[in-house]
Amino acid sequence: MTENARDDAGAAAGTTGGYEIPEETPAAGSLDRDTLTAEQQFAVEEQLFRLADDEFVHAERLTEWQIYAPTLESDLALANVAQDEFGHARLWYDLLQELGYTEAECIWEKPADEWTHSTLVERPFDDDGWGNAVVRGYLYDVAERIRLEALVETSYAPLADRVGKALSEEEYHREHAANWLDRLAEDDEARERLDAAVDELFPHALSLFAPGPNEEAILEAGVRRETLADMRAEWLDTVVPYLESLGLTVPEPDAADRPADRGRDGSHTDAWAELYEAFTATHDEIDFDRPARLRAEEAE
Amino acid sequence: MPANAPLGGGADPDEGAASAAREAGGEACAYTSYEDGEAPESYPKTGEGAEGVEADVWAALREVEDPEMPVSVVDLGLIYDVTVEEDGRCTVEMTLTYTGCPAKDMLTNDVRCAAETAPGVHEAEVRIRYTPEWNVNMVTSAGREDLREFGLSV
């Protein structure tokens, strides 16, 4: 492969691929658990894992703020956002469990290199600190709205049932992040930290729109109604002008140095291994062959 | 945050929602807004008109309370449907006020166990639905009375 060809391949895989919406796709809500073809099921599963893994890992990182946020109110806010994201991860993992997976297969015993979250959400907070958390939240939450909107008309009925609820719970996350961005950007030193965070996180955020192996099937089956390219364009049209209006410098998307690790294909940055070890540790230590019984089960 | 129904108790994200509420002419201290929206047509479901075993299941579900508040899950408007097949298999469709509800497993288990106390139910299954989205206008008037007694203004 020539160097140019490698660049092209990297750009395609690192951005959105060249997929298009087919002319005919199954109608909204027309597919259900029992009627999926094998190919459709792969598509549904990939879409659900993309959603769920992002939410779960984003929430794991956010919980790190619970003792560090700059005000008690923001301690609570970040904890609350994280709780929402765990709740949304559960929405999608539950649908995977209806398709035959166990929770352990979805999360606790899933090998680290089978996680398909964007590299954005696994990054440690490093020295950019609070500004990093705020920028990350903003970049993520805008993408979250766009992709949920692309699922409102999904062909997969069990997913359609849940999208509206998740959308309505996401709105205040964006308000929270944007409010903090506005506030921090007024201060020169804080703005420098925001700039550093944008510089670090922006290339990773682009991996939110990287395709997985079943992208064509996702569009073919009508699981999602927008291409990753269109979602990425909408995201850029939203976040770039806004960040620039705050005096921040946003890297040129097509020129941004893309990390070699792409997230969606199971490859992850060095920060992932440690985080994965940390959140699976308790599960590994507990004897799940003898689970505790719930109060109401004992009353049976 | 209350386990299931953060009616006025939700921790809010700093100024964002509060300033939005101020702009809207609301109180300075805003909460996740459950006042929005109306009860969809034919909701809340209360089991009115149910017969036979299904009526017994509705009656049993009335005994299940939200983990944080002394209000029946039926009066909170969480139960969306009850069906019992001839062979005694029962399906309860219900929602949660909030997707991040940490008591989901406990609550759905309580509902399942309650349904199975109804004579004629052989086994029960609980399915979670999020459409229509629950809002506070789906609380029954009896539920509102209970919430007021508990100290929540609805």
pLDDT digits (tens, 9 = 90+) for A114-130: 999 999 999 998 766 88
Residue B64 scores a pLDDT above 50: yes
* Residues of A within an 8 Å Cβ radius of B: 71, 73-74, 76-77, 79-81, 83-84, 86-88, 90-91, 94, 160-162, 164-166, 168-169, 172-173, 175-176, 178-180, 183, 294-297, 299-300
pLDDT in tens, A51-71: 999 999 999 999 988 778 888
Under 8 Å between Cβ of A125 and A285: no
Under 8 Å between Cβ of A256 and A12: no
Residue A296 scores a pLDDT above 60: no
Bridge partner residues of B127 (DSSP): B93
Q: Decide which of B67 and A234 is more confident.
A: A234
**Looking at CA atoms only, how far is residue A54 from chain B in angstroms?**
16
One-letter identity of residue B89: R
In this prediction, residues A123-148 reach a mean pLDDT of 92
Tokens of A185: 């950007």
pLDDT at A286: 80
Q: Which of A134, A154, A175 to mutate to test the interface with B (most CBs of B within 10 A)?
A: A175
One-letter identity of residue A253: P
In this prediction, residues A35-59 reach a mean pLDDT of 98
Kindly state whether B149 is in contact with chain A, defined as any CB-CB distance less than 8 angstroms.
no
From A84, A161, A183, residue closest to B129, measured CB to CB = A161
State the burial class of residue B144 (Cβ atoms within 10 Å of its Cβ: 0-12, 13-18, 19+).
middle
**Terminal CA-to-CA distance of chain B, rounded, Å?**
17
pLDDT at B8: 37
A84 C-beta neighbours (distance < 10 Å), count: 23
Quickly state the pLDDT bin for A258 (edges 50, 70, 90).
confident
CA–CA dist B30, B33 (Å, integer): 8
CA–CA dist B7, B1 (Å, integer): 9
In this prediction, residues A260-270 reach a mean pLDDT of 92
Tokens of A283: 């599960």
Beta-strand ranges (E) seen in chain B are 79-84, 89-94, 123-128
**Residues 6+ away with beta carbon under 8 Å from A108:** A280, A283, A284
One-letter identity of residue A19: Y
CA–CA dist B135, B35 (Å, integer): 7
Coil, helix or strand at residue A159 = helix
Tokens of B91: 């399906």
pLDDT in tens, A176-186: 999 999 999 99
CA–CA dist B7, B153 (Å, integer): 9
Residue B33 scores a pLDDT above 70: no
Under 8 Å between Cβ of A196 and A171: no
Q: Which of A5, A60, A10 is nearest to A210 (CA)?
A: A10
CA–CA dist A153, A236 (Å, integer): 23
Domains along chain A with CATH numbers: 26-286 (1.20.1260.10)
Residue with tokens 């029962």: B90
State the burial class of residue A257 (Cβ atoms within 10 Å of its Cβ: 0-12, 13-18, 19+).
exposed
Quickly state the pLDDT bin for A294 (edges 50, 70, 90).
low
pLDDT in tens, A197-243: 999 999 999 999 999 999 999 999 999 999 999 999 999 999 999 99
Q: What's the ipTM?
A: 0.83
pLDDT at B113: 97
Dihedral of CA A289/A293/A297/B2: which sign?
negative
Least confident span in A26-30, A38-42, B31-35? B31-35
CB interface of B with A, residues 77-106, below 8 Å: 98-102, 104-106
* Chain A residues touching B131 at Cβ < 8 A: 160-162, 164-165
Residue A13 scores a pLDDT above 50: no
Q: Decide which of A300 and A164 is more confident.
A: A164
Under 8 Å between Cβ of B13 and A172: yes
Question: 3-state DSSP: chain B helix, strand, coil percent, rounded to 5?
Answer: 30, 15, 55
> Chain A to chain B, count of Cβ pairs less than 8 Å apart?
88
Least confident span in A92-106, A260-274, B2-16, B28-42? B2-16
Q: Decide which of B69 and A45 is more confident.
A: A45
In this prediction, residues B60-87 reach a mean pLDDT of 95
Q: Contacts from B23-32 at CB under 8 Å and sequence distance 24+? A: B31/B6, B32/A172, B32/B6
pLDDT at B153: 79
**Residues 6+ away with beta carbon under 8 Å from A152:** A160, A163, A164, A167, A225
pLDDT at A298: 52
pLDDT above 90: percentage of residues in chain A: 77
pLDDT at B13: 42
Mean pLDDT of chain A: 90
CATH number of the domain located at residue range(s) B14-150 in this protein: 3.30.300.130
Per-domain residue ranges of chain B: 14-150
Mean pLDDT of chain B: 82
A297 C-beta neighbours (distance < 10 Å), count: 12
Residue A297 scores a pLDDT above 60: no
Q: Which of A221, A264, A263, A162 is nearest to A44 (CA)?
A: A221
Residue A187 scores a pLDDT above 50: yes
Coil, helix or strand at residue B82 = strand
Q: Which of A263, A232, A214 is nearest to A57 (CA)?
A: A263
